[in-house]
Homo-oligomer: A and B are copies of this chain.
Amino acid sequence: MKEKKGELQQKSAEELAKELRQVSVSAFFERNRHLLGYDNPSKALLTVVKELVDNLIDACEDARILPEGIVTIKTLTETRFLITVEDNGPGIVKENLPSVFCSLLYGSKFGKNKQSRGLQGIGASGAVLYSQLTTGKAVKVWSKTAKDKKMHFYEMFIDVHKNQAEVKKEETLDTTKAHGVKVELEIEARYQKGKQGVDEYLRQTSITNPHLQLSYVNPDNEKIIFKRASNNLPKEPKAIKPHPHGTELGVLMRMLKETKSRNLQSFLTTDFCRIGGGTAKEIITKALLNINDKPQNLMHDQVEKLYKSMQEAKVIAPPTDCLSPIGENDFLKSVQTEIKAEFYTSITRSPTVYRGYPFQIDCALAYGGELNPEESIKVMRFANRVPLLYQQSACATTEAIKETNWRAYGLQQSSGNLPIGPVVLAVHIASVWVPFTSEAKEAIAHYPEIVKEIKLAVQECGRRLGVYIRKNVKAKEQREKVSLFEKYIPELADALSSLSGEKKSIIIECLQKVLKKGLKDLLAEAKESEKEEIKGSIALGEKQQTLE
């Protein structure tokens, strides 16, 4: 190797070693805050509110309490806001308050295979991190866990080096409040209305969470109430055990090491879902192992054989009763409450499975009314009841809608694009593990199974819309044409009279007779279409009855 001597002053491994150090996860995300959704000031405002509201609803649902929230965004300066989110949830016990808000990756949901909004324990502490980075202010938290207990107050920072709370102030207070948490954060941000703003986020949240009652004061000091549309809490989602076909070799090894089961037979039947005694025996025998082998004692090549045998075994798909979809009726009601239209329909598909994880699609459609007929349809995307406002074009939902032929359902569409028409289409995926394309949870990955299910849901809503458009919209258009024609009868008669020499009054009489006959036919047709009621769909006139 040629080296110009003198130019290369080599450094030793010992010298370089001095610079090595462990970085905390807080420091990592502080530097890479865009990965958590804090790329720009407008998105930052949305992300902070989103994380706190997601937590509010999760906390209430976990405790089986109907959620009631108060969100206030106070404008301090044009670029600085004070955000307060208060709930009626179960509260957080004093000992855990510092970690919940000031340690990243601290939470209760991680790796649980249970449908929920939060997953990683990053949301709330990420918001606190952003707050102290941009304003240097501490987070304030009030928590009360029961009527007969005191309220605890904390003012604290995140110690970024340690990924731990640095408590500034701690108090015990008396209040009349029953239970719940209140969080206050000051951040640098920008307030925007429109499609990707906080107002829209909360509106969409109330659509997919009909059991939520929310009072919201926006930065313009306008108070908006999102009313509870249903008094039923969603079915409690269940955590499921890992499915043998969705488990990786490295995870299997760890499970074998950490299991409390004393033998392989009980390990397979207890630590996985869908493995019964017979299947377990079959798997173990095929791997040339013994049902009484101790899980901790397997050698590496034995584990590999067990893994292979597990993958080859016929095991039915994981249970799907662990999911909590929104449900046809609730989704329909919510969409009706929030969107003024003339026709509504909704569908909830049966659950199905991708890569060992169960999932389920809800879809709701609103048509006509105040919606703009000249623009692309409006798509609302939700995952485990959380609205997704960014990265629409990267989302599996958008792909499924674009690939559907909407001309068959009476809308305009150029191929490969969203259709044009006065339509809002809302799509929800419920899953124990939603495959997001990034940490900021903005779009769903294009798994073929998921795209297919969304398509089937969207197509069913589209078919119902097609029937409605043919029967009602076309009939209405004809009626409008008739009444327009009626207006012109006198003038037409005038002209015809002078051309033909026939008396004007006779001509008018004839024309009106013709028109009446036409109208009769049209009305009969409309009546028939009303009889042909479509399950799950509601046109404006029927709305009242169905709502109560």
Contact = CB atoms under 8 A, between A and B. Distances in A.
Contact of A105 (B4, B25, B95): B25
A178 B251 CA distance: 39
A115 interface: no
Interface stretch (A27-35, A197-205, A484-492, A524-532): A27-35
Q: How many copies does the complex hold?
A: 2
A62 interface: yes
A35 B438 contact: yes
A82 interface: no
A110 B31 contact: yes
Contacts of A90: 10-13, 16
A304 B160 CA distance: 20
B105 A23 contact: yes
A540 B447 CA distance: 49
Given A100-B20, A231-B2, A64 B11 contact: yes
A253 B93 CA distance: 30
Contact of A111 (B31, B64, B91): B31
A105 B11 contact: no
Given A121-B23, A250-B133, A250-B134, A65 B106 contact: no
A206 interface: no
B160 A254 contact: yes
A499 interface: no
Interface string A398-415: 000000000000000000
Interface in A312-361: none
A76 to B, nearest CB: 12
A21 interface: yes
A212 interface: no
B106 A20 contact: yes
A135 interface: yes
A17 interface: yes
Contact of A23 (B11, B95, B110): B110
A500 B329 CA distance: 94
Nearest to A32: B439
A120 interface: yes
A248 interface: yes
Interface in A117-136: 120-121, 132-136
Interface in A247-261: 248-254
B145 A22 contact: no
Nearest to A159: B254
A238 B111 CA distance: 42
B23 A300 contact: no
Interface in A207-234: 213, 231-233
27 contacts: A1-B68, A8-B64, A8-B66, A10-B63, A10-B65, A12-B63, A12-B146, A16-B90, A17-B92, A17-B93, A17-B96, A20-B96, A20-B99, A21-B110, A22-B99, A22-B106, A23-B106, A23-B110, A28-B105, A30-B250, A35-B439, A134-B250, A135-B249, A136-B252, A136-B300, A188-B249, A438-B438
Given A11-B62, A23-B110, 4 more contacts: A8-B65, A13-B90, A25-B25, A136-B252
